Amino acid sequence: MKKTLLLMIFASLLISMVSCEKELMDYQGENSIYFDVRRGKDFRDSSFWARQYYTHVNFIEIVGDTFTLDLRVAISGPVTNYPRTFIVDVVEDSTTAVEGVNYDFQREWVVPAGSHEARIKVNLYKQEDLEDNPRTIMFRVQENENFTTNLNFDKELPGRDNLLEDEKKYNSDPRFHTVELAFSIKKPEDWWGYDYPDSKIEMDVFGAFTAKKYLLMLDVMGYTESMFCEIIKSKDNAEVIGEIFARYLVQQFQKGEPVLEKDGRLMWVQALQVVYKNPWTYYQYEW
């Protein structure tokens, strides 16, 4: 009975080892670590997404002042049944962002036991000067006692060909990944509003497009740019937003904190006329 039990245990271990070996075949080789950030169409399996040299973060697409970026790191060698540490550093001479102001992150990370990848997290912070001064962070995985960094995307890894011209400016070495921070503002295609500065007239739901009005509208509504642009494809939806925003402007005015455009005039939307019986008009500088 004891002999039979030992044979069963041995057979079970053998099957387990064969199964494990089959799972690990894709990862046999040198213990190298590299950035494996991927993006692609949601309808495709993420394993087929293209690898990316860079990640662009536009804070106009983010609700709030802080965003946690998740960057995938992968290994080329066999997985292990114990965790292994690795180090990520910042390439100072290729980085314009300021640690503690634009971003924070830790240097030491761990590839978990039984895994061929890890995720590093970087806290990014919105700053007003990003509108005029985009910032860059270049990260680098370091070689240590657990991993080398000898892979090359061009030779070792697929999915890096057919690059667009604007992608070719980024470092293609798999040890590196570039993060760009920006606050890029552009007028939505379906902005329901018009402005005639020479005649000092604003018209339609939102009136004049200004960066200050647009950003404040996103903040008041709690929308990202893509959410806002999708919602205002319907003019009825735009009018609802205009009414909510007008109420905010009136409340601020009543508190003695009127919202002004950069040139000093009171901010205006059409609902101020339609709903609030014109407490002020467009291009009004005195009140």
Quote the mean pLDDT of the chain. Answer: 86
pLDDT > 90? residue 155: no
Q: pLDDT higher for 1 or 262?
A: 262
pLDDT digits (tens, 9 = 90+) for 237-256: 999 999 999 999 999 999 99
Residues 111 and 48 in one domain: yes
Residues 108 and 47 in one domain: yes
Average pLDDT over residues 131-136: 91
Residues 162 and 44 in one domain: yes
Residues 77 and 203 in one domain: no
* Residue 152, pLDDT score: 61
Band of pLDDT at residue 22, cut at 50, 70 and 90: very low
* Residue 24, pLDDT score: 38
* Residue 17, pLDDT score: 46
pLDDT digits (tens, 9 = 90+) for 61-88: 888 889 999 999 999 888 999 999 999 9
Residues 241 and 172 in one domain: no
Band of pLDDT at residue 46, cut at 50, 70 and 90: confident
Residues 111 and 73 in one domain: yes
Distance (Å) of CA 118 to CA 37, 103, 156, 171, 212:
11, 20, 19, 21, 40
Percentage above 70 pLDDT, the chain: 84
- Domain end residue (candidates: 120, 151, 182): 182
pLDDT digits (tens, 9 = 90+) for 256-281: 999 999 999 999 999 999 999 999 99
Contact between 137 and 101 under an 8 Å Cβ cutoff? The reply is no
Buried b (16+ CB within 10 A) or exposed e, 130-162: beeebbbbbbbbeeeebbebebebeeeeeebee
Band of pLDDT at residue 14, cut at 50, 70 and 90: very low
Residues spanned by the domain of 31: 24-182
- Angle value at C-alpha 255, between 269 and 286, nearest 5 degrees: 55
* Residue 21, pLDDT score: 38
CATH of the domain at 83: 2.60.40.1740
* Residue 184, pLDDT score: 86
Average pLDDT over residues 156-171: 65
Residues 95 and 70 in one domain: yes
Average pLDDT over residues 115-144: 93
Contact between 183 and 59 under an 8 Å Cβ cutoff? The reply is yes
pLDDT > 80? residue 4: no
Number of domains present in the structure of the chain: 2
Residues 59 and 168 in one domain: yes
- Domain end residue (candidates: 156, 182, 208): 182
